Amino acid sequence: MLKTVAALVLPEVSPFEFGTICEVFGIDRTEDGVPPFELRVCGPVAGEPLRSTVGVEIVPTHGLDGLAGADLVAVSATRMREFPEPVLDAVRAAAASGSTMLSVCSGSFVLGAAGLLDGRRCTTHWMNADELRSKNPLAQVDPDVLFVDDGNIVTSAGTAAGIDACLHVVRRELGNAVVNAIARRMVVPPQRDGGQRQFVEQPVPVCRADGLAPVLDWVLENLQIEHSVSDLARRARMSDRSFARRFVAETGTTPHKWLTLQRVLRAQRLLEDTDLGVDDVAERSGFGSGALLRHHFRKVVGVAPADYRRTFTARTALAGF
């Protein structure tokens, strides 16, 4: 259960990356059905101001002892690369006691210096990937993903990817309803395309113009039927070529990839919320056959539909939803 979050900030902290942690875990959204979180802002010394990368100071309310007993320790980005031993000891102790460790952007260097990334798959900002690999030769650094979930170690890429990782942890521990409530208030999609192991609710299409939004809304309501680019282009009153070009510009992906992702996300909801068999889930989500569903589901989510159902059902029951 995710109740207590300790945000670790160090000198040369990046306010935006720190802010992503605060935005997800530090705002009371109980009126929206989000369980309350206790957020502890922890630094080397409680009450001692820490310089940031933009000239302002951040004052932690807790010292390193605030990491003890936290369900989640979220390490914010920092320009530091050499860390005091008491900081690393506190990080190691939190991990050893069972806390999930989350790093945002260059916060991964703290986890690496503590020895927590050895033999583990991880990521960081793409500009820092080679440096992280050099400092942690035993780590499996993947610079091509938004975040990596390696069990009790979750690492994110740069800046906005910290939002993706924080929401993923919420989704993993507390389920669809909670992460969607938070994402809706933040005016961000619960998931961005680009990761294969993001267990998320179906996102609202994000378009910069009104032209495609009605078409995408209609598709989401009719995922069970076949959709060709030509059919969608006619509905949008565009030529096939113009529609395909506009689609990529507005959504960041192709119609085929977008439609496949939406069908996988619909299948996730059906697996979580119903007792339908895999073939029925496949039909209602638009894949047509259980074999095709299994192929795309494993490719996007990283596990088979049956394994996903078992895992998420257990988490949902544990979270009380």
The number of angstroms, rounded, from the C-alpha of 212 to the middle of its chain's C-alpha atoms is 26
Q: Of 22, 42, 105, 122, which residue is the catalytic one?
A: 105
Torsion angle of C-alpha atoms 161, 167, 172, 175, degrees rounded to 10: -150
Q: How many Å apart are CA 270 and CA 36, to the nearest integer? A: 27
Contact 140, 121 (CB under 8 A): yes
Question: 207 catalytic, yes or no?
Answer: no
What's the sign of the alpha-carbon dihedral 271, 273, 276, 282?
Answer: negative
> Helices marked H in 212-304 — which ranges?
213-221, 229-235, 240-251, 255-273, 278-285, 290-301
Does residue 302 come out as left (phi exceeding 0), alpha (psi in the -120 to 50 range) or beta? left
Phi, psi of 280 (to 5 degrees): -65, -40
In this structure, which long-range contacts are made by residues 142-151, counting pairs with CB atoms below 8 Å and at least 24 apart in sequence?
A: 145/194, 145/195, 145/196, 146/192, 146/194, 146/195, 146/198, 147/123, 147/195, 147/198, 148/121, 148/122, 148/123, 149/197, 150/120, 150/121, 150/122
**How many other C-beta atoms can be found within 10 angstroms of the C-beta atom of residue 139?**
22
Q: HSE of 97 in the Cβ direction (CA atoms, 13 Å)?
A: 15
As annotated, the active-site residues are 105
